[in-house]
Amino acid sequence: RVENGFRVFDLRADSGVTDFGHGETRTAGYNGSYLGPTLRVRSGEKIRVRVRNDLDQDSTVHWHGAILPAAVDGGPHRPIRPGRTADMRWTVDQPAATLWYHPHPDGHTEEQVLRGLAGMFLIDDDDPRTAALPHEYGVDDLPVIVQDRRFGWDGQFGTRPDFSSDVGVLGDTLLVNGTIGPYREVRTSLVRLRLLNGSNGRQYDFGFAGDRGFHVISTDGGMLAAPVPRTGIRLAPGERADIVVPMRPGERLVLRSRSPAPDENILVRRFEGGMDSFDVLELRAAATLTPSTPLPAVLSDLPPPDTSKVAHERSFEFYQRTINDKNMDMHRVDLIATAGTREIWTVHSTHLMPHVFHLHGQRFRVLDVDGEPPPPELSGWKDTLNLPMDVRFRLLVTFAGNADENTPYMYHCHVLRHEDEGMMGQFLVV
């Protein structure tokens, strides 16, 4: 709906009950009992989102991956009290990308996301190359929100982690778009999956049964320069990738999350759930398939990262529940950046357990990984990045033009339990 030049969306967060096949599970959702609607907007469009909070605790809606002013970023500073409505407006100022939204209240993010509050936020643009990609929602362009859950004897979501888990609750059951064991009929020769790891702490190594090759076309913040051929892609909590897979007539093709290669650190992998394999989604191809437009050889004019005129270099060490030895303090601003500048950030984890770097309101490029050029699937725009222990990533952070000296943005670990436990810092862009 368009009102006074704004595309308007209404979201209402509320608790509800969902039957996943385990009886009545107490859940929460936006405009429904689990997850929320996919919001789809165009680059350049003015949007207005009204969010009513009918939960019995404070909430917010954070636009993960969106380039927007801090005042509408949905961070913990601007809670929406129970029964109140927030009104957020901004102009979509970024190219085509697969983003998502979720609550970000102080200390209760894991709990609210676990109950079901999350949704996809898709941006389209006018680039003819992205228009040539599969883009018919629900037909050849499918959202794939992957979340692990554990069901208790009473049918409720398990909320207490296993003693051996350092990343919060690891579920033994996958929900994909809120469904257990989903399949989808498809009838085109190419199918695009918008993979979102919407889990609280679990990582996935996605790939197809039979090692079917696919192309990665985009990562968190936008299109890659060219399609990257792969048979697997790993996503940490909060990360996204769009992939395009070729289908054969009449086949059933299963997307899986696989166990790691045997040379990885077994103890770490075990405690973070990396020993678990899952079937994620079955694609059932029609007997005859409509031929899709072949993937363009070039997807975007991704410029090489420009490291000239870097305003600052900073480094961030992730350890246990701290970033640079500090735990979150809502009254402390950790750094101040200048709108429209670039900085080089070195991020690295010295902790045995996995951490996931995420930055609000801006995008970054990976310059190097332990001094080597990044693999092609990390060469595009990112906002979330897995940090295995002792691997040093140098990032070129581009601060957008949204200056506000009063409202901070966040950077934090996207393992939601770690975030709630204060593995988070704040920055101002002025």
Binding site for ligand C2O (CB under 6 A): 62, 64, 102, 104, 238, 358, 360, 410, 412, 414
**CA–CA separation, 32 and 15 (whole Å):** 9
Residue nearer to ligand C2O on the CB measure, 104 or 321: 104
Residue nearer to ligand C2O on the CB measure, 202 or 360: 360
Q: Which stretch binds Cu ion (CB under 5 A): 33-41, 172-180, 252-260, 350-358?
A: 350-358
Dihedral sign of CA atoms 334, 340, 346, 352 in order = positive
**Amino acid making up residue 92:** V
CB-based contact 180:281 (threshold 8 Å)? no
> What order of strands is seen across the sheet that includes strand 119-124?
39-42, 119-124, 97-102, 62-64
Residues in the chain: 430
Least distance in Å: CB of 98 to ligand C2O? Answer: 13
Least distance in Å: CB of 430 to ligand C2O? Answer: 20
Q: Which of the listed partners (ligand C2O, Cu ion, none) does 192 bind, with a CB threshold of 5 to 8 Å by partner kind?
A: none
User: Looking at beta carbons, which residue is closest to ligand C2O?
Assistant: 64
Strand partners, 284: 185, 252
Least distance in Å: CB of 101 to Cu ion? Answer: 9
Least distance in Å: CB of 4 to ligand C2O? Answer: 30
**Amino acid making up residue 301:** D
Residue nearer to Cu ion on the CB measure, 360 or 363: 360
CB-based contact 221:240 (threshold 8 Å)? no
Q: Which of the listed partners (Cu ion, ligand C2O, none) does 66 bind, with a CB threshold of 5 to 8 Å by partner kind?
A: none
**CA–CA separation, 111 and 117 (whole Å):** 9
CA atoms within 13 A on the CB side of 29: 17
Using the structure block, give the residue that is written with the tokens 């801090």. Answer: 70
Least distance in Å: CB of 44 to Cu ion? Answer: 22
Residue nearer to ligand C2O on the CB measure, 104 or 202: 104
Residue nearer to Cu ion on the CB measure, 202 or 418: 418
**Amino acid making up residue 244:** V
**CA–CA separation, 66 and 73 (whole Å):** 8
- Work out whether 415 is an interface residue with Cu ion (CB under 5 A): yes
Residue 40 DSSP SS3: strand
Residue nearer to ligand C2O on the CB measure, 227 or 408: 408
Rule CB under 5 A: choose which of 102, 348, 355, 394 binds Cu ion: 355
- Work out whether 413 is an interface residue with Cu ion (CB under 5 A): yes
| Contacts to Cu ion by CB under 5 A | 64, 355, 360, 413, 415, 418
